[in-house]
Amino acid sequence: MTTHLFGRSMRHDPPKAVAGDGCYLIDADGKRYLDGSGGAAVSCLGHSNAAVRAALHAQIDRLAFAHTGFFTSDPAEQLADRLAAHAPPGLDRVYLVSGGSEAVEAALKLARQYFVEIGQPQRHRVIARQQSYHGNTLGALAAGGNAWRRAQFAPLLAQTSHIAPCYEYRERQAGEIAEAYGLRAAQALEDEILRLGPETVMAFIAEPVVGATAGAVPAVPGYLRRVREICDRYGVLLILDEVMCGMGRTGHLFACEEDGVAPDILTIAKGLGAGYQPIGALLCQAAIYDALAAGSGFFQHGHTYMGHPIAAAAAHAVLGEILDWNMLTRVREQGEKLGEALKATLGDHPNIGDIRGRGLFRGIELVADRESKTPFDAARKLHARIKAEAFAAGLICYPMGGTVDGVSGDHVLLAPPFIIEDDQIGELVEKLDMAIHRALAT
């Protein structure tokens, strides 16, 4: 044993990261790695942002921690104010936690308590989508629809209904326009609500752009608007999970802005702290907060480090960098360049089935045959080979398996820092192309 640290894998010891420089991470041997996925769509500002580091230094000199059972703090208040000021319509209250899984867990519990408070305790059912991912705590994992992640923990998970995803590449029929497919995909939600009994359903949860488990799959035009209408018709809360796709990643501060939809509850994390501190949040409609305020007067939930002053200070500085320096425009511009570079290099590759995404959130789906869209044999673990080849070449990317159904399929997720330059886009695509070719050759 070379370490006492309980890491992610017991098969190998990863290199030790010792420094960050813009879009690069540097290991103990001095090797530089282009962070083509922002870790897991986290490091949106790169690894050496001066303003965020200065905010951390300043805050730790003033106040490190004050438990929210006794105090609020300036950083938490300022962060909540700024998030609410830029949030989709009606999202007025901000509940700060320490990460994405905590945010989703809190969202599910808030939805349940809301219906208890307004006299509809029979509403307890959650509907989600197949191939979704909402976190690793038991409630969030139960909501998620990825078979591989759920399998061994299934006996511990609350029952959740999973409907078909909005997955244009595989589910849109020949001759069907995107908008028609979106309405058809959304109809699965209404069908499931009616099957379960509308009076029993409390929430539908979805990622506007599906991240880790499917590889940057965006909703087609009109899909989320129709989902919003269905939820309103039956009194079901709409929870949008933007833990991975939010905070500017798609070119809008909140991904659902592009779809013209405001949810009842929205979850964020990852890019909110940009890797400088662990932080997440849920935002909710004023009506939900007001129902609790007029009833029990408290949310029966909480975490020790929620609203942590240093984490909130970091997130407030991150938001400042994104909003004050016009990063959202940059994300759209650089994202378009990344998409074009991927298509120019890999668009005609016989084993690349789809290149998709929004902003600097891009996915590549690999197939054994383009015409039939047949995935590679899962036993081959092509995604793992691509990850290893890319890492050896000095590129961090985020390949995953089980893209199609939780077992079969391979994709690569890309989510580089918003500060990525044109030549670094070229480096990313060149190294990814090489990794794919080497992985397919083995």
Written as tens digits, the pLDDT of the chain (442 aa) is: 578 999 888 888 899 999 999 999 999 999 999 999 999 999 999 999 999 999 999 999 999 999 999 999 999 999 999 999 999 999 999 999 999 999 999 999 999 999 999 999 999 999 999 999 999 999 999 999 988 899 999 999 999 999 999 999 999 999 999 999 999 999 999 999 999 999 999 999 999 999 999 999 999 999 999 999 999 999 999 999 999 999 999 999 999 999 999 999 999 999 999 999 999 999 999 999 999 999 999 999 999 999 999 999 999 999 999 999 999 999 999 999 999 999 999 999 999 999 999 999 999 999 999 999 999 999 999 999 999 999 999 999 999 999 999 999 999 999 999 999 999 999 999 999 999 999 999 8
DSSP string computed for 30-96: --EEEETTHHHHT-TT-S--HHHHHHHHHHHHH-S---TTT---HHHHHHHHHHHHHSSTTEEEEEE
Name the strand (E) or helix (H) holding 237. Answer: strand 237-241
Residue in 38, 59, 100 with CA at minimum distance from that of residue 416: 38
Handedness of CA 38, 32, 401, 2 (dihedral sign): negative
Position 51 scores a pLDDT of: 98
Helices (H), 213-308: 223-234, 286-294
Report how far apart, in Å, the C-alpha atoms of 14 and of each of 20, 200, 387, 402, 405 are.
Answer: 16, 47, 13, 24, 29
> Can you state the percent helix, strand and coil of the chain, rounding each to 5?
45, 20, 40
Which ranges of 235-275 would DSSP assign to H, the alpha helix? none
Q: How many CB atoms lie under 10 A from the CB of residue 257?
A: 18
- In this structure, the number of other CB atoms found within 10 A of the CB of residue 11 comes to 5
Whether 131 contacts 171, CB under 8 Å:
no
Q: In this predicted structure, what is the pLDDT of residue 3?
A: 87
Predicted confidence at residue 1, as pLDDT, reads 52
Closest alpha carbon to 209 in 331, 314, 301: 331
Give pLDDT, residue 148. Answer: 87
Contact 267, 276 (CB under 8 A): no
Element (H, E) at 306: none
DSSP reduced 3-state for 377: coil
Phi then psi for residue 386, to 5 deg, are -65, -45
C-alpha–C-alpha distance, residues 203 and 374, integer Å: 34
